[in-house]
Structure 1
């Protein structure tokens, strides 16, 4: 055995044990040493020593003992601890094609502030400045400085590999993912991921009742976050879930999303004079026509809107059938802002699936997270990253800043 192995193994063991206690603290409310002992298998003296060290580092804080909390009557009262939620912060960003949304959260996942801005250009330089401005607004609302951020997670509408890079093969992808780690160089670590993948993480974290499902972003373009047997599929270039295959699917022909086509078909009908005077859609100016307006009109029985819903439903049923045939998904969840109004399309698409395609067919559902799916998935990604490797982050930097301000 090498001398270095003898010298470093106790330190390594202590680091492993400290990581175990810290992971427990990150996922717990108030806890006692005995609680951490039961989960980690460590002795009382080891847990107490590690808790003292974690408190000195700024990760956790000691609370009133169990007697003060009314949980202990006789004998030595148990020491109680809790995570310092402000030991660090996470920023989640949905850098969409037309809108940027940012949230700031503490290490418990409590959202402290949010901000949003529209994008008036698709150039990478404009996206970088708009995304940074949106994050700065959210940080200011939360009263947080950039150096208090552990992790920024950005969701983009492009395939992303495990290094946060998108393929250079199209100008669109280059513009959607224009080197965000450089934009947030003063905010700790930056993770960039595909927006549909993050939406799938959000669905899984918020109770998707299937082990194999597709979270289908369906606004301007279709993009799928694919969870199979509980595992998010990515692919070597991060392109799993890119829906370019729809270009060759009969009856579909493109990756255009429900939001885009619902709007486009309504506008086309209006320009062609095919919306009768009594239609609900006839009372909406062309520039105000949207998929949501079409769905609302369909729910009220508008014949023109129902025709558009039928076309969208036929298309969605074919897409769901393709996903189920390739990956055996149990469920297709329509995610994104369009989810709030998409029920008429889902109801009709489910009927088309049952009538025209062989069983088993996937269940269809609208996401309860609506437009927040991607940004909540970014937060979930950040929380999971910190919980899996907490000791790679350092609250000491934040402690130093607090000391300088006090």
Structure 2
């Protein structure tokens, strides 16, 4: 058996201790040195020294002492501190197929400003997509009143697999269009930049504040125009060799599914086909959907009201969804599949029927299907969660110029 000694310099030890203190108090609640000592086991002199340094660097602020705050009566009052959530900011971006949206948040995850823009079907130029992302980022920072140099991390979600460098595989026109070197375009906007698959970020969001908070193994299924899945197994996000874990091109091979088209797309196409073939029953609510014709929300709402055609479409979609979920959940032994994205709240009729059908397609213990409550912002929510986590992992490793004093 061999061993190697690890030599830690005083500077490294000091930085490690400061980072430990900072991560311990990141939730923002007021604290004293005694609170940190009890959590970390560091000595009082070390903790007080670290707190003085972190105050000087702008990461925490010193509050009124315990006696002034009314929480201490005898002896020398304890010094009180709080994490400075405005020591820096993070940005979460959802660079979707037709919508680019960005939110700026402080280091506690509280949103401070947002912006978004739309891209049409004909807007396929890579330069236009990059310019739109940067323009939306600028508008979100303006809305938040945050200067660019105050941004510590940007995480962007794209509907394409990405590797560790934020690059999508070559040779796939859609992926290249959705991720036209966004990591390079954002590289000068913050010291930390990450471009990640949108379904993976949705899974991060659901695991942090959504339907997966109590689970170790679950899947998230973005279900609008195309299916895409983010997979958490044994508490870890699956990414694969080139970031392609969860890509659902394999659905072309699944009987009763036949392709990766999502619930929103499929519901709309089924309704439009029925109207084109003049098979819509007289009096159907779908005939009153307007000049653009019924979309998925029209179909789901009509099904809840007993419309025969909409009810049939929902039944077909439920079977399709159950088969997709059976493939994913059985292969990875998942406890739950969470249907997410803007369509999720309206898709409850499909989800409810699919849950029952899933019992026919799987063996005990049966997985379940639920609809996400995070709505259209699920990818942005995951991007912000990831951005804060990246800063929190090594806050003192950021360039010194990026650390800002708390605003007055």
Residue 276, structure 1, aligned to residue 281, structure 2: yes
Aligned-pair distance for 1:354? 2.5
- Are the aligned partners of 1:267 and 1:289 in contact in 2 as well (CA < 8 Å)? yes
Secondary structure, counterpart of 1:287 in structure 2: coil
Assess, with a 3 A threshold, how the Cα gap between structure 1 residues 7 and 371 changes in structure 2: closer, same or farther.
Answer: closer
Q: Deviations over 1:154-205 (max 9, x none)?
A: 0000001111111012121111112223322133321110000000000010
Instruction: Please give the alpha-carbon distance, in whole angstroms, between the structure 1 residues aligned to 2:81 and 2:129.
Output: 42
Aligned-residue offset at 1:291: 0.7
Provide closer, same or farther for how the CA distance between residues 314 and 165 of structure 1 changes in structure 2, counting only shifts above 3 A: same
Tell me the alpha carbon deviations over residues 344-392 of structure 1, each in whole angstroms, 9 at most, x when there is no partner.
1011112222345433331110001011110000000011111111112
Deviation string, structure 1 residues 61-113 (Cα, Å, up to 9, x no partner): 11111111111110111111111111110000010001111100001111011
The 1-side partners of 2:56 and 2:364 are apart by: 59
For 2:382 and 2:168, the matched residues in 1 are separated by 19
Structure 2 CA distance, aligned partners of 1:32 and 1:291? Answer: 53
| SS of alignment partner, residue 38 of structure 2 | helix
Q: How far apart, CA to CA, are the structure 2 residues paired with 1:107 and 1:357?
A: 42
Kept in 2: contact 1:331–1:363 (CA 8 A)? yes
Match of 1:378?
383
| SS at structure 2 position matched to 1:339 | coil
How far apart, CA to CA, are the structure 2 residues paired with 1:68 and 1:58?
23
The structure-2 alpha-carbon separation of the partners of 1:21 and 1:400, relative to structure 1 and needing over 3 Å to count, comes to closer
Mapping 1:128-207, distance limit 5 Å: 128-184=130-186, 185-207=188-210
Report the counterpart of residue 265 of structure 2 in structure 1.
260
Shifted more, 15-24 versus 346-355: the winner is 346-355
Deviation string, structure 1 residues 11-38 (Cα, Å, up to 9, x no partner): 1111111110111122341111111111
- Contact 1:147–1:188 (CA under 8 A) maintained in structure 2: no
Residue 115 of structure 2 is aligned to residue 115 of structure 1:
yes
| Structure 1: runs of 5+ lacking an equivalent | none
Secondary structure of 1:293's aligned partner:
helix
Distance 2:399 2:32 in 1: 23
Higher alpha-carbon deviation: 115-124 or 131-140: 115-124
CA distance in 2 between partners of 1:333 and 1:356 (Å)? 17
TM-score by length of 1: 0.94
CA shift for structure 1 position 393: 2.0
Determine the C-alpha separation between the residues in 2 that align with 1:147 and 1:382: 16
Structure 1 residue 284: deviation in Å?
A: 1.4
Deviations 1:214-245 (A, max 9, x none): 10000111110001111111112000000111
1:215 aligns to what SS in structure 2? strand
Which has the larger share of helix? Answer: 1
Residues 5-404 of structure 1: matches in 2 within 5 Å? Answer: 9-120=9-120, 121-184=123-186, 185-207=188-210, 208-285=213-290, 287-394=292-399, 396-397=401-402, 399=404
In structure 1, what is the Cα distance between the partners aligned to 2:361 and 2:42?
59
> Which SS does the other structure have where 1:329 is aligned?
coil
What is the distance in 1 between the residues matched to 2:185 and 2:202? 23
Cα distance in 2 between the residues matched to 1:89 and 1:6:
34
Give the aligned length: 399
TM-score (structure 2 length as normaliser): 0.94
Q: Residue 202 of structure 1 aligns to a residue in which SS?
A: helix
Q: Secondary structure at the match of 1:260?
A: helix
For residues 256 and 186 of structure 1, what CA distance do their matches in structure 2 show? Answer: 34
Question: Tell me, what secondary structure is at the counterpart of 1:340?
Answer: coil
How far apart, in 2, do the equivalents of 1:397 and 1:325 lie?
46
Of residues 24-33 and 101-110 in structure 1, the stretch that sits farther from structure 2 once superposed is: 24-33
Deviation of residue 309 (structure 1)? 0.4
Q: Which runs of 4+ in 1 moved over 6 A?
A: 5-8
